[in-house]
Structure 1
Amino acid sequence: MRATFWTYAAVVASAAAASTSLSDICTVSYAKKALPIGALQGVTVDTSSVSASLVTNFTASSIFYPTSTFDYCNVTFAYSHDGIEGDVVHVQYWLPAPGQFKNRYVSTGGGGWAINSGSSSIPTGVIVGGVGGLTDGGFGSFNTQFSSVALLENGTINWQATYMFGYQAQHELAVLGKELTRNIYDVPSSDKIYSYYQGCSEGGREGWSQVQRFPDQFDGVVAAAPAFRWAQQQVNHLTGNVIQKTLDYYSPSCELEKIMNMTIASCDPLDGRTDGIVSRSELCLAHLDWNKILGASYSCPAVKGSGYSSATPAQTGKVSAKAIEVIKTYWNGLHDSDGKRVYFTYQPGSTFTDLATAYDSSADSWELDISGLGGIWVGLFIDLLQETNIPTLDNVTYDTLKEWMIFSQKKYDDILQTTYPDLTDFQAAGGKVLHVHGEQDFSIPTASSIRYWNSVRQIMFPSKSYRAGAAALDDFYRLFLIPGVGHCAVNSYQPGAPWPQTTLQTLIDWVENGKAPATLAGSEEIDTMCRWPLRPLWTDSGKKFSCVYSQASVDSFTYDLDAYKLPVY
């Protein structure tokens, strides 16, 4: 972590808060007096639902914040929306000791179908001297996922739950949380409480849902690998499966791993330094020698099955021409039968998660394994059936995938696409965004984030050139690609890849002290994450690092989604 974060002056809490201890404020009676009654129109807080629990010597560890041990008070309560029968939403807030409070509030998001990440994300608030918050979205409990309540018993969409998941629950969490924070610590109305958000994947999308709809809600947002464009994003998980079925080839897991490892080895040096990290994935395909990959021998030991994965046998063989055909088609991205681009794919060097196959021990063969991420979307939100996955891809073509995407966009565009590109109001409110995305993300294409960034640039600064528009965006919105990193996690296949663990702290420094980050810090001895559109480059035999502009790199990440008549931001 940068020393500057720890050395800048902390906001002084009110005298009333400073004179109390954590145990003083961590009681049901104290929490009830601080409840944000009347903070939201049409919402009734259930005063009888309040709980307050003191937790001491809690150790929090995550890639999203430095490992820390601290005491906190867990306050939870429920509220309901007036006029909606049976509606109950639970929220949870972690309070730091009054002496550690720095006039900050931090909302946290979820991942996948979950609207929160439980105790793995909420500690980030306490760690930066603020109150941390999470919500259950009204789904029944903090452990209930949106997918389990998405359909009503009559087989129709649960629109209340869908809107809550889309953006409303996070808005209510923040409004209530900021008011609770002010009341708990007795912060005068004349004093500012800085409000922040941090989330990755679905949590990243949730952060953007707030920036786009409620411009003055957060002073700063960390949005990592956001799950933009649910219509395209979820269906796109089935693209690899349809490619496999169309080409009638299902690679053994070891064959896929061999291709990936050879890709990493080939593309690693393209940034000017050989360090086991693919930092310039956009240059990769032009330099990949398929003749070396074809026929390469692979060997993997048998793996016992577990609760998360099936057993696989020992595998030996050579990379086949058919496997290479599948991979080339996969890396080309989804196109319709007219050859028009429907969506983009993952960067070379990432794991082939959407091409994973299943081993059938009875037939001693590798077979289709339909992606659950794509299948559940089609089963629930298109077929309107209580399916955890679609049972078959028979008669599903590339055009079918496009039709599913267009149908989904029409039906859920205003709730789940979350790509509204005009952020003028957020900029005017003084908000800041740090948007980060792993370059070897295997679940949400890195190009997805670049497309949204570019949409904002084009809409907000249409008369400026690409580079001038990028400079204008830098005033409040900065996008960083993280070399070698997978989806919201470190990458075991590129173990030296940096992760910006203190991004929230960097954001706070930008918001509260005006220190805009030119680069992000990772595990390297210097900051090696460049803000888009600059790209990393090592010179002097890998000793000197710089961030450079490359038009070829920009062009590589720019896609014309010409399969659509309407714009896809």
Structure 2
Amino acid sequence: MSLFALRFHSWLRCGVVAALVLAGAVPARADTAPTGLAPLPALPPVMACADLAALRLDGVTDGAVEISAATVVVAGAAPYCEVRGRIAPAIGFVLRLPTQGWTQRYVQTGCGGLCGSARIDPGQGADCVPVRDGTVAIATTDMGHQGSGTPAGAWAAGQPQAQIDFAYRGVHATAQLAQALVARFYGQPARHRYFIGCSDGGREALMEAQRYPQDFDGIVAGAPALNMVVQNSFHHAWNVRANRDASGRYRLLAGQLPMLHAAVLDACDGLDGLVDGLIEDPRRCPFEPRRLLCRDGQDPAHCLSPEAVAAVQALHDGARDDQGHYLEVPGAHPLGSERLWTLFVPPTPQAAFNFSEQIAAAPFVRYLAHFNQALPAWTVDDLRFTAEAFWQTVQTSVYLSAMDPDLSRFQARGGKLLLWHGWSDEHIAATTTIAYAQALRRQMGAAAADAFTRLYLLPGVGHCGGGDGPDQVDLLTPVMAWVETGQAPQALMTAQVASGVTTRTRPVYPYPLVARFQGGDPTLAANFAPVDPGPEEPTPDWLGAPLFASGYQAQCQARDGRLVCDPPGLPFGTPAPR
């Protein structure tokens, strides 16, 4: 049992009072707010909203600032001053400043996908009381380009600054500017600063912890696309290539996924002692796709062809080269996630559209995957699944990926990090986040890492939510309480809601602990307890394991229409021709 697990079991022995604290029924300390947050006095603005538009903001960040609008909006929980503008050359931002009741907190939200829109979305922080009540200053950015579709115009026309802004500068510059505006508007800076994001927003969260540890005190990184270059090239291309035959026809079809999923549950659902449609830890599931291989005379509606069985195995395992070496963290699509594979498993053999190809892989590889090289005609059929092609492609990880496990600067400032991932994520595998957490503990030391980081894995939950498992959870309040009153998060309450009705609740515990049913009503969280499942499942070897290392993240500049980074490439693997 890990040191953290021992500490956690000691916490549980506090009995009924601890259980009430866990459920949020009573505060843990008399001097804290009911949610466990510090009881910070609310402060009023010291200037008019409209006057923000006239502020001189030279030197706040590394680009000129233009405020296009500063207006009072009366909507939702409380009125706020909405500030919109741009950080040169093209980083759009939006900031909302409460005009009454500001509780001295700043929250910045991430932007998913390829971004392109400055839309505030607190995600799994929406139920956090200060956010819900409109008492926090809150901001976001479009990360340097506009338009939620493929941002080829920004990335393909000799504008490397747009690539840098998307990689890491947009979020950092917005944090600098927004926090400066907060200080001007209220006459003092925010007491506590937080970031929450999922998917690419999770990558942005880790970029902040790794590159700019001074920006935030508490960070929530959900389903992080931390291995962005591999994710948007080999992973998504494999989703297509592993399921197409030589003639271009898809072998496994969407209509077969419910049958496949049912077979997986039949094999593994009850391993944790409860048949509830969820798999506690898919890595421990022994299901073999060949169980579904059609026998002579069997109804094909209830079995799979040899080609479809091979596709299922390949999709589950993840990208490999022809020698069998993994080109991504193995377990690319964990068992139990099959119903959500409709993202990349089409309904017909001749399907013309596939999300993994047209939306994920193609725009990224065409305009971001290679230094100073656009490939506008690229398709997934052009990608070679070889070690040489792998190292040539992932060179841009030096500025696009967020895999550095050395968070010592963030830790030294007292920063707190909460990682979370759904086990049924159809976009990004939870195994990648586990691999990062394992690398972080190796780098920092297990005890040190446990003191400022937590990882939560949600059975049955899809990408940033959805799926078959309880996905409604407030992940921001636990980080706020950790930062403000020293209450390290333990069990988090999750809920499943259908048509506005809560159908079940379930605790989720810090990894590696799992929630195990103790008897009674299985839809109630109170009937589950934390269990250490035994020795941790190690991450299998894969070619890019050295990417979980420190020291190679680059600072980049746009010079004469070219992207120039220092260091210029990875210190391991086969260097790309430059």
Where do 1:91-490 residues align within 5 Å?
Answer: 91-99=93-101, 101-114=102-115, 118-121=119-122, 124=126, 126-127=131-132, 129-139=135-145, 141=146, 143=147, 147-153=151-157, 156=158, 158-187=159-188, 193-235=191-233, 236-245=235-244, 250-284=251-285, 286-287=286-287, 290-291=290-291, 294=294, 318-343=303-328, 344=330, 345-350=332-337, 351-353=340-342, 355-357=344-346, 359=348, 369=354, 371-372=357-358, 373-382=360-369, 384-385=373-374, 387=376, 390-391=378-379, 393=381, 396-399=383-386, 402-410=387-395, 412-461=396-445, 469=446, 471-490=447-466
Q: Is the 8 A contact 2:419 2:453 kept in 1?
A: yes
Corresponding position of 1:54:
72
Distance 2:246 2:533 in 1: 36
Change in Cα spacing, 1:518 to 1:199, as seen in structure 2 (3 Å) is: same
Deviation per CA, 1:382-417: give whole Å up to 9, x if none.
574474x844627x5532xx544322321x122111
TM-score, with length taken from structure 1 = 0.78
Change over 3 Å in CA distance of 1:42–1:244 after alignment to 2: closer
- How far apart, in 2, do the equivalents of 1:507 and 1:490 lie? 22
**2:269 corresponds to which letter in structure 1?**
D
Note the C-alpha offset of 1:281.
1.3
> Shift in Å at residue 207 of structure 1?
0.8
Aligned length: 493
The structure 2 residue matched to 1:498, chosen from 470, 485, 489, is 470
Give the 3 Å change call, closer, same or farther, for CA 195–458 of structure 1 in structure 2.
same
Structure 2: which amino acid aligns with 1:558? T
Cα contact 1:295–1:320 (8 A) shared by 2:
no
Q: 1:270 to 1:293 in 2, by over 3 A?
A: farther
Cα contact 1:252–1:366 (8 A) shared by 2 = no
Partner amino acid, structure 1, of 2:486: G
Cα offset, 1:477, TM superposition: 0.8
TM-score (norm 2): 0.77
| Paired residues of 1:230 and 1:417 also in contact (CA < 8 A) | yes
Tell me which stretches of 4 or more aligned residues in structure 1 moved more than 6 Å: 295-299
1 CA distance for matches of 2:482 and 2:422?
22
C-alpha distance 386-150 of structure 1, shift in aligned 2 (>3 A): farther
What is the CA-CA distance between 1:194 and the residue it aligns to?
A: 0.7
| Partner in structure 1 of residue 24 of structure 2 | 2
* Superposition RMSD in Å: 3.2
What is the CA-CA distance between 1:328 and the residue it aligns to? 1.5
Q: Secondary structure at the match of 1:521?
A: strand
Amino acid at match of 1:127: R
**Rounded Cα–Cα distance in structure 2 between residues aligned with 1:271 and 1:317:** 26
Shift of 1:450: 0.7
Alpha-carbon offset, residue 259 of structure 1: 0.7
Distance 1:178 1:357 in 2: 45
Structure-2 residue corresponding to 1:550: 533
Q: C-alpha offsets along residues 232-262 of structure 1, whole Å, 9 cap, x if unaligned? A: 1111111132222357752232013321233
Aligned amino acid, residue 10 of structure 1: P
SS in 2 for 1:179: helix
CA contact (8 A) 1:298 1:319 kept: no
Cα offset, 1:196, TM superposition: 0.4
Distance 1:454 1:149 in 2: 38
| Candidates 64, 76, 83, aligned match of 2:84 | 76
Take 2:199 and 2:253, find their aligned partners in 1: how far apart are those partners? 28
What is the alpha-carbon distance in structure 2 between the residues aligned to residue 197 and residue 568 of structure 1?
A: 22
Verify the 8 A CA contact 1:219 1:511 in the aligned structure 2: yes
Kindly provide the CA deviation profile for residues 408-431 of structure 1, in whole angstroms up to 9, marking residues without a partner as x: 321x12211111111111001000
1:28 aligns with 2:50: yes
The corresponding residue for 2:57 is 37
SS in 1 for 2:466: coil
Tell me if the contact between 1:45 and 1:78 (Cα under 8 Å) persists in the aligned partners.
Answer: yes
Q: 1:144 to 1:112 in 2, by over 3 A?
A: closer
Residue by residue, what CA displacement relative to the aligned partner does 1:488-532 show, whole Å, maximum 9, x if unpaired?
Answer: 1211xx1xx222531111111111111111121111776521211
- Against the structure 1 CA distance between its residues 144 and 253, is the aligned structure 2 distance closer, same or farther, given a 3 Å change threshold? closer
Letter paired with 2:480 = I
Letter in 1 for 2:70: A
CA contact (8 A) 2:71 2:81 kept: yes
Where 2:79 maps in the other structure, the secondary structure is strand
CA distance in 1, matches of 2:296, 2:98: 56
Task: Give 1:138's aligned amino acid.
Answer: G
Q: Does the CA contact (< 8 Å) of 1:433 and 1:476 recur in 2? A: yes
Q: CA distance change for structure 1 residues 339 and 288 in 2, over 3 Å: closer, same or farther?
A: closer
> Residue deviations 1:40-73, cap 9 Å, x none?
2543323xx4312333233xxxxxxxxxx44333
Change in 2 beyond 3 A, CA 1:273/1:487 = same
SS of residue matched to 1:528:
strand
User: Is there any run of 5+ residues in structure 1 with no aligned partner, and where?
Assistant: 59-68, 81-86, 300-314, 462-468
Tell me, yes or no, if the aligned pair for 1:294 and 1:324 is still in contact at 8 Å: no
Q: Which residue of 2 aligns with 1:307?
A: none
Percent same amino acid among aligned pairs? 25
Name the SS for the 2:277 alignment partner. Answer: coil
